[in-house]
Structure 1
Amino acid sequence: MRTADLFDPSRVPVAGRDALDILLIEDDLGDALLVQEFLDEGELDAQLVVARSFAEARGFLGPGGPGFHCVLVDLSLPDANGLDMLREVLRLAPHTAVLVLTGLNDAQVGVAAVGAGAQDYLVKQEVEPPLLTRAVRYAIERKRADESERELGEARLLSSENNRLARGLLPVPQLDDVLLRHHTRYSPGRRRALLGGDFYDTIQTPDGAVHLMIGDVSGHGPDEASLGVRLRMAWRTLVLAGQRGEALLVTLDRVLTLERWTEEIFTTLCMVTVHPDRRHATMYRAGHPRPLLFSGSGVRAMPEEACGPAIGLFTDGEWPAAEIELPDSWGLMLYTDGLIEGRVGHGSRRLDTEGLVDLAAQALRRGMTGQDLIDALVADAEDLNGGVLTDDLAILLLAG
C-alpha cells in the first residue's frame, strides 16, 4: 500500500461492506504505516482510515460523518492531547469502540483513559499483530456488550416509569360507604401494553349517591388509551361539578369530538348512579353492553330497551334513563365487550351477554363472590375461547 493511499481523505467506510472500518487518529506517518501492517499481518478484515490531526478527526466523527466500528486514538497530537481530547472523541462517537495508544512511559495515562470511557489501551512499543487484532475485536465486542447493557437499563427504566404512569392514570375509587364492596379487573389487549382503550371509574358524591362508569374507545392503540383516560377524568370532573344523566353524556360527547383525532372514533359508555337509599339506581347506556344484576335469586342482564347511541356518532343523540330496583342484597357488574366477544368453541359463535349470564349463574352456584367471581368469569370465558381474550377488558363490580 502506498503512503498516499493510507492518508487519502476519500478512504472512508463504504455501506454494505462486511469488513471492519477503523479510524486511526495519529500524526506520525511511521506509526500509521505500522498499524496498517499489523492489521494486515493479523488477518483482520479491516479498512483503516487515518486522521493526521484532531481537527481532521472531527470531520470523520462529527454529525453526518461515516460510521466506524473502532477508533484508535494517539493521545499526543499537535492540536490536542490528553484525556480532554479522549472525552471529546467519546462524545463525538458515543456508540463506537475506542482504543487508546500510549507511549511506554504513559501507561498510567492509559489506565486513566479506560476510566474515562475507552474500551482499552495499548502501549505502542509493545504492540504486535496478534495483540492489535485481538484488542480491536475485544474492544468492539465489549462496546457492543456495554451498549446492550445500556439499552437494557434504559428499557427497564422506561418500563418502570410506564408502570408508575399507568398506576397513576388508572382510577382510584372514591367510596366512603363501608357497607359497599368494590372490585375491578383491568387488562389491555395489546401485548406488553399497560393501558388500553377501556376505562372505568367510581365516585361517591356528598349526597351519598355512588356513581359508576365504564367505557370503551373504539380502537386498540396508545392514542385510544390516552383518549380513554381523558374521558374518564372529564366524567369524574363533571360528576363532581353536579352534572348528571343525559346532560352529562351530552357534555362527554362534546369532549370526545374535541379530543379525538378523526371523526371515525367513538366510545361506548355505561353509567349507573346508585341512590343514597341503596334500593334504587338509574342507568344510562350509550351503545354499551348491558350490566348484570346479582341478587339472592340469581343473576340477570339489565333490559335492552333503554339504550342510546355510542357517543361521538351523532350530533343529536338521545340517551334514555332506566330505573333499577335493587334487592336487599345485590351486585351490579359493568364490563366492556372484551369479556363477551370471545368465541365459544371452534366456531364463529361469540359468548355474548346471554352466555355471560350463564357463566355467572354457574359461578354463583360454585359459591363465587366479589373478586373471585370476576376472576372466575374471565377464566371461564378464556376456556371457552380456547385461549386468552385478546381485546381490552375492564370489569367493575359494586355490591351492597
Structure 2
Amino acid sequence: MPVPVPRQRTGSPVAVPAAALPPVSVPPVRDTGTETANGSDLTLLVIEDDPAGTFTVPEMLDAAGTRVRIRTARNLTEAERLLTDDIHCILVDLALPGRVRGQSDEDADELAVLRHVLRLAPRHAVLALTAEADAERAAEAVRVGAQDFLLRNELDGRTLSRAIRYAVERKRADTAQVKLAESRLRAQENARLERGLLPTPLLQGSDLRFAARYRPGRSRALLGGDFYDTVRTPDGTVHAMIGDVCGHGPDEAALGVELRIAWRALTFAGLCGDELLSTLQQVLEHERESEEIFATLCTVDIAPDGRRAGLCLAGHPSPLIARKGQAAQLLPYENGGPALGLLPNARWPRRQVELGGSWSLMMYTDGLIEGRTSEGGERLGQDGMVEMINRRLADGLRGEALLETAVAEVRELNGGDLTDDVAVLLLDRVR
C-alpha cells in the first residue's frame, strides 16, 4: 500500500511515527554541500501532479531515526522554485505531460520532463516514478540519467528511504568518477603539452655531445620557469642558452617558453650577444604580466672549431667548465649585465673565453645551487657545486650520468624535493 509522502505546506511538519513504517537500517549519507545539521537527514523533492495528493505528509521518520523531508511540486515551474541547495534527491513522476516550456508538440517525448530535470539539476540524484505497466519507460529513464526508478504500486516507506539513499550515494560515486576521469584527462593533456614545449636540440653536423636534465619546482608539473635550448647555425657555430623566469607558476612557465622560442628565432636570424639580449628584453617587457617579472639568462656561442666561445650573462650564474686533465671551475666573468626586465636600455657585454681541445661545459639555473646542504644548514652555492662535480668527475661520470647523479645528490643534500626549478645543460667536446 503506498505510503503518504508530503506536499510542502506552511505550518509545523508532522512526522510519521517510526512504528508506522517498516524498519530500515542504512548508514548516513553525506552529500556535497547539502547536508543537514546532523549530517544524516535527507530532503526529497517530488515532482508530480496527482490531484488526490498522494504525497501528503511533509516528513517521514524511519526506524533508524533518519528523517526524510519531502517537498512537492506540481509542475516544473514550482520545481525550479523549490530546488534549493538543501535538496538531496528529486523524484520525477514520468506520468507528467511530456512537453516542457518552449517545446512544440512535434518535439515532445515521454521523458521530456525527466530530461529537463536532469539538465536543471545536474548535481542532484534523480529517481523516476512510474506505474508497473511502464517498466520499459522506467528502464529508459535510468539510461538517460536517472539513478533508479520506483514503481508506484510498490512504493512504501522502506522502499522510498532505501531508494533515496542509494540514489544519493550512486550520484556521488558517479560524480566522483567523472571528476577523476576529467582530472586524469587534464593531467594527460597537460603532460603532452608540456613535453611538446620542452626543446629538442638542433645539433646536426656538430661533434659536440649534448645532455640535459630538467626538474620543475611545481608539484605534478613537467615545466617550470626555467628554460634552455641549443642550436647549430649554418656557419657551424653552436649556440646554447639557459635562463630562469622569476617565480614558479604556469604563467612563468609560459613566459619561459616564449623567451626560448624567441631566442631560437633570433639566433637563426643572425643576432648574437648584446643585440640578441636587448631584443629578448623587449619580448619580456611585452609579454610579462607585471613589471616586477624578470628573467636571468646565460648565452654561449661556440666557434665552429670548438676551441673558443663568446659568453654573455644577464644576471645569471657563470657556467662551469672541466678541461681534460684539469679540475672543473667556473668560467670567470665579472662584468655581466643585469637580468632581463630590470633596467631599460641595459647592455650585456660579450666576453671571449678559451675552451681548449677537450672540455665539458655545464650551464645551470640557480635551483641547482640554492638547495640546502642539511636541515637548516647553508645553501650549496657555486663553490659547493664545483666540489660536487669534481668528485663525480673523479668517479668517472660523464654526460647523462653526471647530470643525473648531480641533480639527485643536490636533492638528497636538501633533504627532499627542491622548491625551485632546476635546469642543467651539458656540452662535451672530446678530442
Mark yes or no: TM-score above 0.5: yes
Name the structure with the higher helix share: 1
Provide the residue aligned with 1:74 in structure 2: 93
Q: Is 1:175 aligned with 2:203?
A: yes
Q: Provide the C-alpha distance between the structure 2 equivalents of 1:183 and 1:261, rounded to a whole number of angstroms.
A: 32
User: What SS does the corresponding residue of 2:174 show, helix, strand or coil?
Assistant: helix
Distance 1:10 1:239 in 2: 80
Alignment deviations for residues 304-358 of structure 1 (CA, whole Å, 9 cap, x no partner): 3141111111113221212122222111111000000111224542111111111
**Contact preservation (8 Å) 2:45, 2:71:** yes
Structure 1 residue 40 corresponds to structure 2 residue 57 = no
> Which moved further from structure 2: 269-278 or 295-304?
295-304
Shift of 1:272: 0.4
Report the identity percentage.
Answer: 49
Whether contact under 8 Å (1:290, 1:353) holds in the other structure is: no
Q: Residues 111, 31 of structure 1: CA spacing in aligned structure 2 closer, same or farther, 3 A cutoff? A: farther
Q: Contact 2:34/2:87 (CA < 8 Å) preserved in 1?
A: no
- Cα separation, partners in 2 of 1:152 and 1:321, compared to 1, 3 Å: same
CA RMSD after TM alignment: 2.3
Say which of 352, 356, 371 aligns to 1:323: 352
The answer to whether 1:118 aligns with 2:146 is yes
Shift of 1:29: 4.5
Contact in 1 for aligned 2:228/2:241 (Cα 8 Å): yes
Q: 1:266 to 1:160 in 2, by over 3 A?
A: same
Does 1:394 pair with 2:423?
yes
Q: Mean alpha-carbon deviation: is it higher for 89-98 or for 136-145?
A: 89-98
Q: Is the 8 A contact 1:190 1:220 kept in 2?
A: yes
SS in 1 for 2:127: strand
More displaced 10-residue stretch of structure 1: 146-155 or 121-130 = 121-130
Correspondence list, 1:1-400, <5 A: 6-8=7-9, 17=37, 18=39, 19-30=41-52, 32-33=54-55, 39-41=60-62, 43-61=65-83, 66=85, 68-78=87-97, 80=99, 82-177=110-205, 179-297=207-325, 298-400=327-429
Return the letter of the residue paired with 1:391.
Answer: D
Please give the per-residue CA displacement for 1:219-264, whole angstroms capped at 9, x wherever unaligned: 1211111111111111111112111111111111111111112221
Stretch deviating more after TM superposition (98-107 or 188-197): 188-197
Task: Give how far 1:16 is off.
Answer: 5.8
Shift of 1:31: 5.3
Instruction: Give 2:369's aligned amino acid.
Output: I
Question: What letter is aligned with 1:257?
Answer: E
Gaps of 5+ in 2: 13-32, 100-108
CA distance in 2, matches of 1:215, 1:187: 14
Aligned residue identity for 2:268: L
**CA apart distance, 1:41:** 4.4
Native 8 Å contact 2:97 2:113 kept in 1: no
Kindly indicate whether the alpha-carbon contact (under 8 Å) linking 1:24 and 1:32 is maintained by their aligned counterparts in 2. no
**How far 1:67 sits from its partner (Å)?**
5.1
**2:162 aligned counterpart, secondary structure:** helix
**1:59 and 1:198 mapped to 2: Cα distance?**
53
**Hey, what's the Cα distance between the residues in 1 that align with 2:117 and 2:335?**
70
Which amino acid in 2 is paired with 1:393? V
Q: Which residue of 1 aligns with 2:105?
A: none
Q: Which moved more, 1:175-184 or 1:224-233?
A: 175-184
Q: 1:198 deviation in Å?
A: 0.6
Q: Which runs of 5+ in 1 are unaligned?
A: none
Cα deviations by residue, 1:204-229 (Å, 9 ceiling, x for unpaired): 11111111110011112111111111
Whole-Å separation in 2 of the counterparts to 1:110 and 1:344: 67
Tell me how many residue pairs correspond in the alignment.
392
Check 1:311–1:254 CA distance in 2 against 1; reply closer, same or farther (3 A cut): same
Supply the distance in 2 between the matched residues of 1:82 and 1:201 (Cα, whole angstroms): 62
**In 2, Cα distance between equivalents of 1:171 and 1:350:** 29
Answer yes or no: is the 8 Å Cα contact 1:26–1:32 preserved in 2. Answer: no
Tell whether the 8 Å contact from 2:36 to 2:42 is kept in structure 1 after alignment: no
Provide TM-score, normalisation by structure 2.
0.86
Post-superposition offset of 1:181: 1.1
- Please give the per-residue CA displacement for 1:102-142, whole angstroms capped at 9, x wherever unaligned: 10111111111111111000101011211110110000000
Are the structure 2 counterparts of residues 358 and 137 from structure 1 closer, same or farther at C-alpha, using a change threshold of 3 Å? same
How far does residue 178 in structure 1 lie from its aligned partner after superposition? Answer: 5.0
Tell me the TM-score normalized by structure 1: 0.92
Instruction: Tell me if the contact between 2:312 and 2:336 (Cα under 8 Å) persists in the aligned partners.
Output: yes
